[in-house]
Structure 1
Amino acid sequence: MGNLLEAIQSVRLDDDNDALVLLDQTLLPNEKVFVELKEMEEIWEAIYHLKVRGAPAIGIAAAYGVYLAAKKSAAENYEQLYADFKQAKAYLASSRPTAVNLFWALDRMEKRLVKEKDKPVQAIKTALKDEAEQIRAEDEQVCRSIGEHALSLLEPGWGILTHCNAGTIATAKYGTALAPIYLGQERGYNFKVYADETRPLLQGARLTAWELREAGVDVTLICDNMASIVMKEGKIQAVLVGCDRVAANGDTANKIGTSGVAILAKYYQIPFYVCAPLSTMS
């Protein structure tokens, strides 16, 4: 399973070639293409046009992107490097103004740069790379932890319904809502997963069904308006979804259609679980 997930890793740094490597999610499921991005304009365009998507993956891409901008800077001192960094940060931030993790990651990178300001320029650049790698590693650990907690709520053989895409290609690894499914797959739980197509951009059809199938999970793609019937027929024992934002009062915001699925789950008395990292919470 680990190797299968690594084969569809959506965001990684190729430091030797000064490149951000992304799985182009706009081409899925028909083509699996990894693109190498070396210019800030390319990284901006990739975020803006959803070549990379999913809150954690966007944050990781931004962290690597702003590191690469700093790495290429010809600055000879901290002040010059900071000016170049701020310019790159502002530019990347404009690619997706509503993406919380984008700003969170960029702000964290800036804090690390300021913390290292008394060091030589090259040492600061090395620290920025370290910070970006930590952001990626921490997200992988968070996703696995979400998966472990959620898996404790599920039983082997259950039917699971999910909406949109909150899987490994939206994060560093494992995903959020799909993390317990991947961990269950490793441990022989034999879940039967139903993936809503998720109109209008069809993330469930193009992405969730694709990545689960790539990992060998038993998955069935259904139309959004089929959720009620599979619940009524007793095929669903739990609903797992990701989350774009958790408000301070506990309200959640996610892809259009999630509210309808939640209402159906309540009607049919099916547990509905929102899987989210702390970085999405107010």
Structure 2
Amino acid sequence: MNTFLEVIKDLWQFALEQLTFSDSPSVVVEAEVEPKATPIAITTQPVQAKPMTLPLHTAGTGVYVSALEASVFYRPVLTYDGVLTRLPYSTALTVLGFEGRFARVVIGDTTGFVLKDDITEQKKDIFPDFLSEEIYSFNHPDTKKVRKFLKDEFFAEPLYLPLQAVEFVLFRLNCEGRTISWPSERPRLAGRWQTILKGRAGIQIGVLPKAGAVMEFLKPDGTGFIGYTKAVHVDDAIVLQSVGRLIEGEYREEIVSKEVWHEWRPVWISVS
């Protein structure tokens, strides 16, 4: 009997404990969880420098030789005894097409291939653009163009000289297709042309102004002056182009009245 009561007591105690546990409030812990940003993988392509390309010469247009001398090959390859002719700096020619690094060109009756690096479409890269009262020093780009055109006829570049009067005048004549057959007498300084060229073929010397002629005279100090007569007006005033008349290396284009140039006692040298 006692055993039965002990069992009943234990069951009752167990039931009370279960009820006590069930009535206890549940503790819920709420934690604010910050959303974690998901890293985004950004894939970048390596930036490749785009090669700079110069505009190609346009087929069918005129170009100029920009090298001191351009070789014309009979086919587009550098090969032994493959040169048809050689063209000097500033020679004008026409492009027919392109093959690799070569341009197919025609000049006169000759058709062949020249290196594209030896030609240019830009006339300004070949011929100077003279501005009145500008100084053309040794390193002026237009001074270098003149000397390249003349193949430094007067050996001025190694002496670091500014543009000289005789260089300018000879350049003007050659641009018009007029060349001088020089004797061996040197130096060809301003003031000496009339003496050196007297009696030479294609040379006429007079005292009346003439468009396209070279004007030369001696200054009171014995130094010479030489310039190019661009035009002659009806009143005998002249349009004179020259370098170094007042300042060394300075280009001037000016109108000189008859009264002024008459005092200079010049001569005009015509080159045909």
TM-score after normalising by structure 1: 0.25
- Normalising to structure 2: TM-score of the pair? 0.25
Q: Return the structure number with greater helix share.
A: 1
Higher strand share: 2
Which protein, 1 or 2, shows the higher relative CO under an 8 Å CA cutoff with sep ≥ 6?
1
